Amino acid sequence: MRMALDLAKKAMGRTSPNPMVGAVLVKDGQVVGRGYHARAGTPHAEIHALREAGERAEGATLYVTLEPCCHQGRTGPCTEAILAAGVKRVVTAMVDPNPLVAGRGVERLRRAGVEVTVGVLEEEARRLNEVFVKYITTRSPFVVLKAAMSLDGKIATRTGESRWITGSQARLAVHYLRDRYDAILVGINTVLKDNPSLTTRLPDREGRDPVRVIVDSMARTPPGARVITQESPAPTIVAVTEKAPEENRRRLEDAGARVLVVPGPGPGVDLVALMKELARREITSVLVEGGSRIHASFLESRLVDKVIWFIAPLIIGGSSAPGPVGGEGPARLSEAVRLRDVLITRYGEDFCVEGYVNDGGAV
C-alpha cells in the first residue's frame, strides 16, 4: 500500500478534479503490475496496473489507495475491469467519498466473490487526497492560506518594502505549492502594490501555473498588470461585485482577463459565493497568498482549511509596519484561530508552520 501511495504522489497537482490514485498488483509475493492516475480523462490507476500485469492479474491481489469506481464517468468503471481480469482480492486504503461511489465499488466486488479489505493506511490516503475529499463532499475548494513574515510578525517595513523577508529555499517551496494547487488568489491591494506575476517557476522541471484569481470589488486591476499581460496557459479571473463600473470590466476583458461578477450584499466580494463559483468551474483548491485584508476575510468567513506560515529569523519592528492578518480580530483568545496536526519544517534559515484549522478541513 505504501508503494501504491508513492505511485499516486507522482501525479500531484495534475489530476484535478479527480483524486490521486496508485495501484499495485501482487501475485505469489511478486509485484506484477503497477500504475497511477495521471490526469482526468486518462485511465485510472487500476487499469494501468492490470494492463502491465496482463494474464498474471488472474488470482492476484490488488492494492489501491482509493475504492475502485463502479460508475461510468470520463472513463469506464474499474470494478468491471478488475472482475474481468480475475483478481481474487482487493485491498483499498479508503472508501471513495464521491457520492457516486461511496461504498458501491466495494459492494460490487464483494457480490462478485472478490475478497475486499478496507482501511489499510487510511489516514495517509485521506491526507494525500485532502483536496479531493473537501471538494467532492462540499462542492467548495480546499483553501490553503499561505503567509511569510518576520519573527516579530511583519510582512513589510513601515515604508512597504517586503522583498525579500524569507530566503531562497522558502520562496522555492512556495513555487512548489503553486504547482500543486489549482488556483492562486490575492486581493487588489497586493496587485497594486507588488504587481506580482503569480506564476510557477521551478528549477528542476516545468511547473504548472495555477489559475490566477484577483479579488477586486470595483475592478481596479490595471489592464497592464503582469497577472494579465504575461504569457501563461492559465487564465486570470478578476472577481468583482455588481457595482464594479462597466467600463473597468470591459477594459479588463479586452486585456484578456475573465471578469467574474459575484453576487452578494457587498461592499466587498462575497468570498463564500466566489468559492462556490470556482468549484463549479472544477477548481478544487485555492492557495490564498494575501494580503492582510484578504487573509482576515477568509479566516472570518471560516473558509480556510489549512495554513502554511513561513517565519524568517528577522526582526523588523515599527508599530505601523503591517502584519499578515488585518481586520478587527477577535476580542478574546478563545475566539482565535487554533491549528491542529501542526508540522514544523526548516527551509534554510527560515521555518514553516503548517497545520489545519480546527473548525475546517475535510481530514
Residue 264 CA to residue 270 CA, distance in Å, equals 5
- Please give the Cα distance from 56 to 190 (Å, whole number): 57
Residue 46 among the catalytic residues: yes
- Taking the C-alpha atoms of residue 307 and residue 145, their distance in angstroms, rounded to an integer, is 5
Whether 175 has a binding-site annotation, put simply, is no
The reply, when asked if residue 317 is annotated as ligand binding, is no
32: nearest Cα among 49, 45, 48: 49
- Distance, in Å, from the CA atom of 228 to the CA atom of 231, rounded to the nearest integer, reads 8
- Please, which contacts does 106-115 make with residues 24 or more away whose CB atoms are closer than 8 Å? 106/67, 108/70, 108/79, 109/68, 109/79, 109/82, 109/83, 112/83, 114/82, 114/83, 114/87, 114/88, 114/89, 114/90, 115/88, 115/89, 115/90
246 is in an annotated binding site: no
Looking at the DSSP bridge assignments, the partners of residue 279 are: none
Residue 85: its H or E element: helix 78-85
Q: Tell me: is residue 320 an annotated ligand-binding position.
A: no
Confirm whether residue 25 is marked as ligand binding: no
Whether residue 164 is annotated as binding a ligand: the answer is: yes
Tell me whether residue 237 is annotated as binding: no
Which distant-in-sequence residues (6+ apart) come within 8 Å of 71 by Cβ?
77, 100, 101, 104
Q: How far is it, in rounded angstroms, from Cα 257 to Cα 247?
A: 14
Q: Which of 46, 206, 253, 277 is catalytic?
A: 46
Whether 71 has a binding-site annotation, put simply, is no
**Hunting for cell 496587485 — which residue is that?**
191
Is 254 annotated to bind a ligand? Reply is no
Going by their DSSP bridges, the two strands 61-64 and 89-92 should be labelled as parallel
Residue 194 known to bind ligand? yes
- Residue 16 labeled ligand binder: no
Annotated binding residue 291:
yes
Q: Is 161 annotated as a binding residue?
A: no
According to DSSP, residue 162 is labeled -
Is 69 annotated to bind a ligand? Reply is yes
Q: Are 163 and 169 in contact (CB under 8 A)?
A: no
| Cα separation values, 117 from 88, 120, 121, 124, 274, Å | 12, 8, 11, 16, 40
Q: Is 130 annotated as a binding residue?
A: no
Do 360 and 305 form a contact (C-beta atoms < 8 A)? yes
Q: Is 78 annotated as a binding residue?
A: yes
- Would you say 148 is a known binding-site residue? yes
Q: Which of 233, 282, 234 is nearest to 73 (CA)?
A: 282
Going by the annotation, the residues of the binding site for NADP(+) are: 148, 164, 190, 194, 217, 291-297
Going by the annotation, the residues of the binding site for substrate are: 162, 178, 198, 201, 289
The set of catalytic residues is 46
Going by the annotation, the residues of the binding site are: 44, 69, 78, 148, 162, 164, 178, 190, 194, 198, 201, 217, 289, 291-297
Going by the annotation, the residues of the binding site for Zn(2+) are: 44, 69, 78
